[in-house]
Amino acid sequence: MSKLNTMIKKTILFIFTLIFFSFIIPVKITLNSMDSIAEESCFIVHQISSGSTEAGLWLCNGDVNGIWTDDAYIVALHGNIPQDVLSSDVYSNGETMFVIYGTLADPGMTADEVNVINCDKWEFIGDISRDSASLRLRFKKYITIYDLKLFDGILS
């Protein structure tokens, strides 16, 4: 009986250790600078915050050459996009910046229409900001498994 209790205790300790370390192990790390971007066709975007009339759309304010101070424009993302994977706590605050690799679907659209970026892949650039009401740990340079959409119902 004593060996069984010891085995159960070790198993429980092992499970809690795994859970603890899963809180701090990075799943995706941010890029530190524009120098880290190797591809030509990319866009720097952040989601327009939820209080705006354009909420859910993205503001493109840079490309492989850097961040623009003027000439930012509103875009919609299609394809492999951050909202399909990440919790809204991570992307919807309007502060977390993303590098979107892909192509502008129709750069000749009129000012009334929204440009569309066909997204092949994405990365973070700079610090990651999370919603202030979030129960997630607030690492600035990476996300953990708990920042994924999978855990929204548990941690929101």
pLDDT band at 119 (very low <50, low <70, confident <90, very high): very high
**Opening angle at CA 118, ends 114 and 121, nearest 5:** 130
pLDDT of residue 23: 77
pLDDT for position 19: 83
pLDDT bin (cut points 50, 70, 90) of residue 120 is: very high
pLDDT at res. 11? 93
CA–CA separation, 34 and 66 (whole Å): 6
User: How far apart are the C-alpha atoms of 140 and 110, rounded to whole Å?
Assistant: 37
More confident residue, 32 or 76: 76
Residue-wise pLDDT for 76-118, tens only, equals 899 999 989 988 888 887 888 999 999 888 655 555 678 889 9
Give the pLDDT score at 52: 62
State residue 121's pLDDT score.
Answer: 92
pLDDT of residue 12: 93
As given in the structure block, the two tokens for residue 92 are 């919807």
Domain definitions of the chain by residue range: 28-155
